[in-house]
Amino acid sequence: MTVLAPTESPRQRPAPDRKPSRRRPARRMSPLLVAFVLVPFAVESIWVFWPALQGFYFSLTRWDGLEPPQFIGLDNYAEMAGDSVFRGALLNTVIWLLLFGGLSVVGGFGMALLLQKERRGIGFYRAALFTPVVFSLVVTGLVWRVFYQPDGLADQVLRTIGLEHLIRPWLADPQTALYAVILPALWRQIGYVMVLYLAGLKAIDPALHEAARVDGANGWQRLWNVTVPQLRGVNAVVLSVIVIDSLRSFDIVWALTRGGPYHSSELLSTYMYSTAFQSLRLGYGSAIAVVIFGLALAVILGYLVRAFRED
């Protein structure tokens, strides 16, 4: 690969038998630049690519982490097909993707629209909404646990407004556990999505809005026909972030319910963790990890392909 040959100094370059071409400057990569590519690549290979490949291999084995892995073909995947806990976790992950993903986009975009105009004190509101992003998720988990605990703030609020009959052990009731966990996750994510959309909104040329206004478009029309189409680039980023965040959502669930009670708030990520590191079935855990990887890839590729086609 001459392109990457770092030892060749530019001086030696104009070889007599080669015609100088326009592309030449691109071929003369500085050794520093090459290092910037190769070093991270090498590090990634060791810490990311190789373990990921190993993960695929481990998903075909039975392994307790102590004795050498034992190759069992696709048995783990066959088991997964008949595993009701896995199915529940998959369903919960889809619910999570739709609810957490959908609501954080709607909420984040809504907040960005509300807070985009520069006004006195607007910075305070933006900061207030962004604050949850700053807290460590473990702290978030602890705070919300206090909120949900028996006779905690949630129960007190319900009692004050006369809805005592709704009170239940929020995190310990299989009916409510998953939704009770989605709420703090949303509380956190909305601020983050808001910032992404704020940046996008700032980048829209005000002249477009002016022109639309001159043409007699009302607020809704301007939103749908000017703002939204201009945000396509941001949407792609937000979607990728949301999908990845949904599929790797683990911390908040683990901190609040640990997938319980009896798997009712289990996500694929928590199930992967508990099978691998609590039940010490690392082969099966790896197989679940492969499924998560596949899901993330499918959703993101699916979107990107569509986005490119539209362009």
Partner 1 sequence: MSDFDPGRRRFLGHLGLAGLGALGMGGLVGCASSASTSSGGGGSDGPVAVQSNLSSPQAKAAMEKIIETFNKQGKGSATLNTIAAETYRTQLPTYLTSANPPDLYTWYAGSVADDYASKGLLLDVSDVWQGLADYPEALRTISTDASGKQVFVPMTNYWWGFFYRKSNFARWNVQEPKNWTDFVALCQTLKGKGIPPIGIGLGDTPWVASAWFDYLNIRINGAPFHRELLAGKQRFDDPKVKAVFTRWREVLPYFDPKGKAYPFQEATAALLAGKTGMFLIGTFFADAAPKDALGDLDFFRFPIIDPAVPVAEEGPTDGFFASAKTGNPTGTKALLSHLASVEAQEEYIRHSSGIVLPANPKAKAADSPLVAKGKAMLESAQELTQFFNRDSSDALQPTADTALTKFMDKPDQIDAILREWQAGAEKVFKG
- Among the listed ranges 4-12, 18-26, 102-110, 283-291, the one in contact with partner 1 (CB under 8 A) is 283-291
Residues 102-132 as b or e (16 or more Cβ within 10 Å = b): ebbbebbbebbeebbeeeeeeeeebeebbeb
Binding mask 152-171 for partner 1 (x = CB under 8 A): -----------------xxx
User: Is residue 280 a contact point for partner 1 (CB under 8 A)?
Assistant: yes
Supply the minimum distance, in Å, between the C-beta of residue 89 and partner 1: 13
Instruction: Please say whether the dihedral angle defined by the alpha carbons of residues 208, 113, 197 and 128, taken in this order, is positive or negative.
Output: positive
Question: Which residue in 10, 51, 102, 302 binds partner 1 (CB under 8 A)?
Answer: 51
How far, in Å, are 95, 153, 179 from residue 163 at the CA level? 27, 13, 18
Tokens coding 200: 């996008």
Tokens coding 155: 């129960």
β strands within the chain, DSSP E: 61-62, 70-71
- Count of residues that interact with partner 1, criterion CB under 8 A: 58
Supply the minimum distance, in Å, between the C-beta of residue 137 and partner 1: 6
User: In 135-218, where does DSSP find H-type helix?
Assistant: 137-148, 153-160, 177-202, 206-214
Instruction: Write phi, then psi, for 61 (nearest 5 degrees).
Output: -125, 170
Binding mask 253-272 for partner 1 (x = CB under 8 A): -xx--x-xxxx-----x--x
Binding mask 130-149 for partner 1 (x = CB under 8 A): ------xxx--x------xx
User: Is residue 197 a contact point for partner 1 (CB under 8 A)?
Assistant: no
Instruction: Write phi, then psi, for 70 (nearest 5 degrees).
Output: -115, 125
Question: Which residue in 95, 236, 251, 300 binds partner 1 (CB under 8 A)?
Answer: 251
Q: Which residues of this chain interact with partner 1, rule CB under 8 A?
A: 47-49, 51-52, 54-55, 58, 62-67, 79, 84, 136-138, 141, 148-151, 169-172, 174, 248-251, 254-255, 258, 260-263, 269, 272-274, 276-282, 284-286, 289-290, 292-293
